[in-house]
Chains A and B, each alone.
Chain A
Amino acid sequence: MSEPRAVVAGHGEYASGIISAVQQITGRGDMLIAVSGAGRSAAEIEALIRSTLAERDVRVIFTDLHAGSCSMAARRLMRGIEDAVLVCGANLPTLLDFVMADGLTPQDAATRALERGRGAMMMVGPSAPPAPAGPTGGGTA
């Protein structure tokens, strides 16, 4: 059993689904707490994320879409929590890197995971753009 280190919030079953993938790959899914915006008002989403941060003592929030209600709610509540960090557009490589970042603070782990998640995107096929020079991200620490 690991200590929770972040909230994952988004549309539909995004959070529980991606956390189940993290659990299957790393066994560390319990480091992430799922919040769904489905069926909730903006105020309800904000209250739910706020109470989860307080009760579980976490300061990192991952969301699926920067224009989404969960991201809006997170940005709004962060006004009163100076050490909170929000990463929007989180993908599976982002969360894998985050949960495997032993030895880093959650905030530092989120910073590194953001870069790894960005670098993990790739396209394969005849219309794929040339691969960028240098090492690519996407590993799990």
Chain B
Amino acid sequence: MTLVLHRIDDRLIHGQVVVGWGQPLDIGFIVLVDDAIAANEWEAELYRMGVPDEMEVFFHDTASALAELDAYRADERAGILLTGEIGTMQQLVDFGGIRTVNLGGIHHKPGRTQRMRYVFLTEPEADALRAMAAGGVVITAQDVPTARAIPLPDVLSGATL
């Protein structure tokens, strides 16, 4: 197996990730890439407590994730690459080897405008997604596996609102 899902979700590890995606994909590990959490053992432990015993979680800042990415791709288990920030995922995409990106939940905060029920973006964030797509990455929004995957152009245009 390998990394089977590359997801941007500002809640990081939560029910949709652990149960909604984790169980049907038989996920064995999660690679959580977030500079702040990687530097904060208390926060990392909080997220570690949120996953079942059979699921392993690895915490990385962006630089160390890039160094380890190929090793995770060679893992025999199915894994999720998870970031809370679009910019972090963009750096991982720029490294190479990521062909699909899943938008899981990017919620409201100042400066963002709503594009979908669970996707809010600033213009620079929208541009970052456009840039990834222009580079050949297929980007869709899909909170859970049973939902329809919404193509990036429909996300950006607010077509589902």
Residues 47-61 of A at the B interface (beta carbon under 8 Å): none
Cβ–Cβ < 8 Å partners of B118 in chain A:
39
Residues of B within 8 A of A68 (CB): 14-15, 50
Verify if A3 is at the interface (C-beta below 8 Å from B). Answer: no
- In the complex, which of the residues A41, A43, A72 contacts B47, with contact meaning CB atoms closer than 8 Å? A72
Asked if A112 is at the interface of the complex by the 8 Å CB criterion, the answer is no
If A11-B15, A39-B117, A41-B10 touch, whether A67 touches B51 (CB-CB below 8 Å) is yes
The contact string, 1 if C-beta is below 8 Å from chain A, for chain B 21-58, is: 00000000000000000000000001101111000000
Which residues A39-94 have CB closer than 8 A to chain B?
39-44, 65-69, 71-72, 75-76
Q: Is the CB of A69 within 8 A of B49?
A: no
How many A residues touch B, CB cutoff 8 Å? Answer: 16
Contact B15 A69 (CB under 8 A): yes
Whether A44 touches B108, Cβ cut-off 8 Å, given contacts A39-B118, A67-B15, is yes
B12's nearest neighbour on chain A, judged by CB, is A42
Write 23 A-B pairs (CB below 8 A) sorted by A numbering.
A11-B15, A39-B107, A40-B107, A41-B11, A41-B105, A41-B108, A43-B109, A44-B107, A65-B15, A67-B14, A67-B50, A67-B51, A67-B52, A68-B14, A68-B15, A69-B14, A71-B50, A72-B13, A72-B14, A72-B46, A72-B47, A72-B50, A75-B49
- Which residues of chain A have a CB within 8 Å of any CB of chain B? 11, 39-44, 65-69, 71-72, 75-76
